[in-house]
Chain A
Amino acid sequence: MRSIRSILLPLLLSLAAPALAEPTLPVLTEAIAAPYPPAALEAGVEANVLLQLAVDAQGAVTEALVVEPAGQGFDEAAKAAALDFRFQPATDADGNPAAASILYRYRFTLARAPIVSAQGLVRSGGLPLQGVRVDAVGPQGQRRTGLSDADGAFRFADLEDGSWRLSLQLDGYGPEVVSLEVREGALQDLSVPLYRVINEELAADDEIVVTAARVAPELTERVISADQIRYLPGTSGDVVKVIQNLPGVGRAPLGIGQLLIRGTAPEDSGYYLGGASLPIVFHFSGLSTVMPGDLLEEVSLLPGSYGVRYGRTLGGVVDLRPKLELPETSGAYASVDLYQAAAFGEYLVGDRGAFTLAGRRSYIDAILNPILGGGEATFQAPRYWDGQARYLVDAGEAGTFDAMLLASNDGFRFVGAEDEVALGLTTSFQKLRLGWTRELGGNWLSTASLLVGPQENTFQIAPAGEAWERTTSANLREELYGPLGPVTLRAGLDLVVADEGFVYDVASFGAREEAQARWVSPAVYVEPSVQLGQIRLAPGLRVDPLSVEGGFRSLAVDPRVGTEWVVGPTTTLKAGTGRYSAHPSLRQIAAEGWDQADLTTARSWQSSAGVTQELTRATSAELTGYANRLSDLIVGREDRFYFFTGPPPSGPLDEGAYANDGTGWAVGLEASVRVETERSVGWLTANLSRSTRVQRPGDEARLFRYDQPLSVTALGSTELPRGWRLGARVRVGSGDPYTPVENRILSLDQRSYLPVFGASDSARLPTFFAADLRVDREWELKRSTLTTYLEVQNATNTQNPEVMGWSFDYAREEPVTGLPILPVFGLRGEI
């Protein structure tokens, strides 16, 4: 609470000013009608609320303080309305616009209580939106303005008969225009959905201009803002690792960064940066994402039944959405923790541009290599780095441009006595991203992006051989979104052109494989969506051809449809179904003979239905069921060398030729309760699922290697007084299936044992349990902020078997357990 002195001083100064040089006070030019609190209206209560308003030199209200409260909802309503007032600015002694503070008394009288002739509800994702500005323009151009209340409701009284146009606007959401006919004062009832936008900002004429892409109104989209992520426990503040805690996402073995979405394999899910496909998102073992969260506005998880703008995947989608808003000020931070150091700087260039430079490097190698060195051979510990440079330009009506260079490099080596690399693995990429978002008029929006550059994986093992994969690709996307008659249309191009090559020449993995080819995949998609009363229906079609140099052709035609039904003020039902396809890889095509390859796209048919329910203003719940039918999965050649990011498969390998022989099912139920208040955020999620596969026709169905029948995650973080923040995460889940070893055979030639496996994936690891704690402390200094945190991962020091292993002779099971208790200390300084 401010002291009375701090409230009155600016007021007294502003009142004293005219006596000195005749400056002027702000003059109210546009008042917003506050919604009458329904309970007070019903009870016939009137009230006055005295506000102190801070008005800046542009005439906008930057702060509204309640000086004399009235309670019963009047204070909040008056304050919210006043923040949207517009003033002719105050002037100083030289006649220049100047900031000033004034007192304003907002009167709620029954005489002003409206006789409602039109009312509506505004929602996003089924939840009510408060503070939506509703501008109504009448048949003679008359204007009325209103705001939605805490229930998302807005009302207009005494509208003249005729056609009215209502424009709905709220920061962070796309504008929406609806029409209504008023006849003889009859009540018109509306329900209007608003969809999130990444960024919008006020232009000089006080019109809200959308300057960034509207995010797809996906049916099951789980979004976490980058700001929330930093403090969540158990994730070290990493943007994508947080996703692993959301409904629909399984627990990755050994805490690595794999995303197991709705019973599908990690490679079945796609990672995107603003819609363009990213080669990798995690550094080694999932320690951190390849770009800092501060470059991102939000991270979106689409676990299934998503729209046609995403393709070439059988599982889910994770889209990292870049921040497209100019920072308010220049700033920078540096941070260090147990294994990495990072720096981030953001500089305003004029009032239309911002330049960002960021980088990060791990230093496990710097600590371990001197310790491990000195012998005949040296193991060089893993190291990674990434860097980003970005320039963002707000070009007004021409839209928003951004250019970003991003690079990432991971590697480790085992160096022999002669300084030769005995064992080495690297993975890297360098990409240029260009983005351009602009409004075309008629409420149409264009979003274009290009992600271009090389990526490479290399593996060396002396003297057995080497393996590498190199791809230079360009992903061009252009999407148009806007109204077309009664429908809202989304249409786009998703073009990938690539020059891809590989060599796999590792002695113990069979014959050398080598191929090099160019390929192109020009996908197009269209998704008209219509609003039928309370129901939104969004059918779509994606056509995705693949043409590979050498003669291979493949075509995916994927119809999908989604629907959303706003059942009541707090309840929304959602459902969707559709086909998803993934083309064969270059290696699969090359192995089976280019134009002779009898391979086609692998497919999944995803269906889901769910309900979102608002329980309180701060609490919402969601329940979703899904079924994913997988067909034409490409199987075979499991004995070959592969770059992989997880534990190697156990069990007998399928050494047959590649073929579209695999099928499978993944079904499940996801439940979550989410609480979000001003100071706290938390959620409880539970996933029930079953995922099975049939490797070849005639084989018995077996559990998928990542099948997790049950996983429960509870996660929360709350802000405490004096700069403290406390968080905790608890996870319980089924262990992964594995193939047991029933006996062994001694190879006398190799002097090693060969396992005799039992039925595939017929055994299961023990139940997983882990608790993580996190405490943050923030110090506000003069021009900077210092934050420290201590995160204790696996605080109960539970020995969780995560991957099954065996003794050298397969006589005993020796599971690989996850990390023991691990305290991670971090420090971050920000200016």
Chain B
Amino acid sequence: MTTPLLLLSLFACADGPSEETLVSDLQVIATVAEPPEVAPGEQVSLRTVVADPQERGAEVLTWLCTPVGGACLEASQPLDQWVHLGASAEDSASLVVSPALGAALTQTDEVAAVAWVLACEPGLCPVVEEARADLEQGVLSPDLGAALSDPVSWMADLPIAGVSLALRTVPVSLRTAEERNANPVLRVTGPEGAVLAEGLESLEVEVEDQDQETTVYGLATAGGFGSPFSAVLGGTALLSYYAPAETVPATLYVVAQDGRGGTAVWTGEAQVR
């Protein structure tokens, strides 16, 4: 009986908000790369949106690291060209993709640089303190170099609460600007002002994307969306937001991703009454 029961549970569904859409602790929501596809040695702007529902504050450490032989390929550059420390819900970092990635490319190839984002409550993450010290001095210490090339090695020592580590890839190619992928453009018509407790609100999502293969993801710091993701059909999607029973402020996030690195994010506020 075990297998059938397990399988049945996989395909069961129920009304109400999906647990996966509720953000109850510090969490990286999305990192938008501009441009979303770069050439070797090119600068990329990484804008990270962080949710902080507990409002304890967050430091955001962003770095590019394509690991090769136990070190980051980008480590040959000046430290502030591949590591950035910020402290806001929407932090932007301008970093440079390693020019050494060009050696692995031909005109048709594409490789990926890896962007890491660590959002951390102040004082919880030693690697943030190490990065702060090294950035102030402008010199990469061996400890920080090793830590940034292998985040898994220290993540096991950090608490789950108050820490959010995320990664995304940044496609690297020799394509011309016209041939490159572009970020989608996202417009959301959502609940304006107050929403009723336990009420159901609809968010109309419009997406402009050259591939037209975009998926949108809904997230909220209170309540939740009916489904963790929805496919965009004909440039639009409809998301269902379930307000919580409590009268609290809620931050809603909609993230659009085209599967090739193109990302757009929308943030909205709602007061549940």
- Do the two chains bind? yes
Q: Is the CB of A745 within 8 A of B4?
A: no
Chain B residues near A811: list those with CB within 8 A.
25, 160
| Distance of B128 from chain A, by nearest CB (Å) | 15
Q: Is the CB of A255 within 8 A of B2?
A: yes
* Secondary structure class of chain B's binding surface, majority of residues: mixed
| Distance of A654 from chain B, by nearest CB (Å) | 16
Q: Is the CB of B160 within 8 A of A743?
A: yes
Q: Assuming the A-B contacts A742-B156, A747-B167, are A364 and B28 also in contact, with contact meaning beta carbons closer than 8 angstroms in the complex?
A: no
Stretch at the interface among A117-125, A399-407, A600-608, A748-756: A748-756
Q: Is the CB of A745 within 8 A of B167?
A: yes
Q: Is the CB of B158 within 8 A of A743?
A: yes
Residue of B nearest to A364 (CB): B4
Q: Assuming the A-B contacts A284-B3, A414-B11, are A745 and B152 also in contact, with contact meaning beta carbons closer than 8 angstroms in the complex?
A: yes
Q: Which of B11, B151, B263 contacts A745 (CB 8 A)?
A: B151
Q: Which of B3, B163, B229 contacts A751 (CB 8 A)?
A: B229
Tell me, in angstroms, the Cα distance from A278 to B30 when the chains sit together: 53
Tell me, in angstroms, the Cα distance from A412 to B228 when the chains sit together: 28
Tell me, in angstroms, the Cα distance from A650 to B179 when the chains sit together: 42
Q: Is the CB of B3 within 8 A of A382?
A: yes
The tally of residues in B whose CB lies under 8 Å from a CB in A reads 38
| Distance of B165 from chain A, by nearest CB (Å) | 5
Chain B residues near A381: list those with CB within 8 A.
4, 7-8
Residue of A nearest to B27 (CB): A746
Q: Is the CB of A748 within 8 A of B2?
A: no
Tell me, in angstroms, the Cα distance from A810 to B7 when the chains sit together: 21
Chain B residues near A816: list those with CB within 8 A.
6
Q: Is B42 an interface residue (CB 8 A)?
A: no
Chain A residues near B157: list those with CB within 8 A.
742
Chain B residues near A757: list those with CB within 8 A.
156
Q: Is the CB of A746 within 8 A of B163?
A: no
Q: Assuming the A-B contacts A285-B2, A811-B160, are A379 and B28 also in contact, with contact meaning beta carbons closer than 8 angstroms in the complex?
A: no
Q: Is B100 an interface residue (CB 8 A)?
A: no
* Secondary structure class of chain A's binding surface, majority of residues: mixed
| Distance of A572 from chain B, by nearest CB (Å) | 40
Chain B residues near A743: list those with CB within 8 A.
155-156, 158-160, 163, 165
Q: Is A368 an interface residue (CB 8 A)?
A: yes
Q: Is the CB of A412 within 8 A of B31?
A: no
Chain A residues near B25: list those with CB within 8 A.
811
Q: Which of A412, A745, A748 contacts B155 (CB 8 A)?
A: A745
Q: Is the CB of A746 within 8 A of B4?
A: no
Residue of A nearest to B11 (CB): A379
| Distance of A32 from chain B, by nearest CB (Å) | 54
Tell me, in angstroms, the Cα distance from A284 to B3 when the chains sit together: 7
| Distance of A244 from chain B, by nearest CB (Å) | 15
Q: Assuming the A-B contacts A287-B1, A748-B166, are A379 and B156 also in contact, with contact meaning beta carbons closer than 8 angstroms in the complex?
A: no
Q: Is the CB of A749 within 8 A of B169?
A: yes
Q: Is the CB of B169 within 8 A of A819?
A: no
Q: Is B168 an interface residue (CB 8 A)?
A: yes
For chain A, residues 782 to 821, give those with C-beta under 8 angstroms from any C-beta of chain B: 807-811, 816, 818-819
| Distance of A470 from chain B, by nearest CB (Å) | 23
For chain B, residues 167 to 203, give those with C-beta under 8 angstroms from any C-beta of chain A: 167-169
Residue of B nearest to A744 (CB): B160
Q: Which of A747, A751, A810 contacts B217 (CB 8 A)?
A: A751
| Distance of A457 from chain B, by nearest CB (Å) | 15
Chain A residues near B261: list those with CB within 8 A.
749
Q: Is B19 an interface residue (CB 8 A)?
A: yes
| Distance of A822 from chain B, by nearest CB (Å) | 7
Residue of B nearest to A339 (CB): B1
Q: Is B211 an interface residue (CB 8 A)?
A: no
Chain A residues near B98: list those with CB within 8 A.
none
Contact with B along A269-310 (1 / 0, CB 8 A): 000000000000000110100000000000000000000000
Q: Is B204 an interface residue (CB 8 A)?
A: no
Interface centre among A744, A757, A819 (most CB of B within 10 A): A744
Q: Is A625 an interface residue (CB 8 A)?
A: no
Chain B residues near A284: list those with CB within 8 A.
3
Q: Is B214 an interface residue (CB 8 A)?
A: no
Q: Is B129 an interface residue (CB 8 A)?
A: no
Tell me, in angstroms, the Cα distance from A748 to B33 when the chains sit together: 12
Tell me, in angstroms, the Cα distance from A811 to B160 when the chains sit together: 7
Q: Is the CB of A742 within 8 A of B155?
A: yes
For chain B, residues 1 to 17, give those with C-beta under 8 angstroms from any C-beta of chain A: 1-8, 11
Q: Is A334 an interface residue (CB 8 A)?
A: no
Q: Is B20 an interface residue (CB 8 A)?
A: yes
| Distance of A238 from chain B, by nearest CB (Å) | 13
Q: Is the CB of B7 within 8 A of A379?
A: yes
Residue of B nearest to A816 (CB): B6
Tell me, in angstroms, the Cα distance from A412 to B8 when the chains sit together: 12
Tell me, in angstroms, the Cα distance from A381 to B2 when the chains sit together: 12
Tell me, in angstroms, the Cα distance from A209 to B229 when the chains sit together: 74
Q: Is B149 an interface residue (CB 8 A)?
A: no
Q: Which of B1, B5, B165 contacts A746 (CB 8 A)?
A: B165
Q: Is B164 an interface residue (CB 8 A)?
A: yes
Interface centre among B4, B5, B19, B25 (most CB of A within 10 A): B4
For chain A, residues 381 to 409, give those with C-beta under 8 angstroms from any C-beta of chain B: 381-382
Residue of A nearest to B215 (CB): A751
Contact with B along A730-770 (1 / 0, CB 8 A): 00000000000011111111010000111000000000000
Tell me, in angstroms, the Cα distance from A756 to B31 when the chains sit together: 21
Q: Is the CB of A746 within 8 A of B7?
A: no
Residue of A nearest to B20 (CB): A808
Chain A residues near B31: list those with CB within 8 A.
748
Chain A residues near B27: list those with CB within 8 A.
746
**Nearest 10 pairs of A and B residues by beta carbon:** A742-B156, A748-B168, A746-B166, A285-B3, A743-B155, A756-B155, A254-B2, A285-B2, A745-B165, A808-B20
Between-chain CB contacts (< 8 Å), 5 pairs:
A364-B1, A747-B168, A748-B30, A748-B168, A751-B257
Given A743-B165, A744-B165, A751-B229, 14 other A-B contacts at CB below 8 A?
A256-B3, A285-B1, A285-B2, A412-B3, A743-B158, A743-B163, A744-B155, A745-B151, A746-B166, A747-B167, A749-B257, A756-B155, A808-B20, A822-B1
Give the B-binding residues of A (Cβ under 8 A): 254-256, 284-285, 287, 339, 364, 368, 372, 379, 381-382, 412, 414, 742-749, 751, 756-758, 807-811, 816, 818-819, 822
Give the A-binding residues of B (Cβ under 8 A): 1-8, 11, 19-20, 25, 27-28, 30-31, 151-152, 155-160, 163-169, 217, 228-229, 255, 257, 261, 263
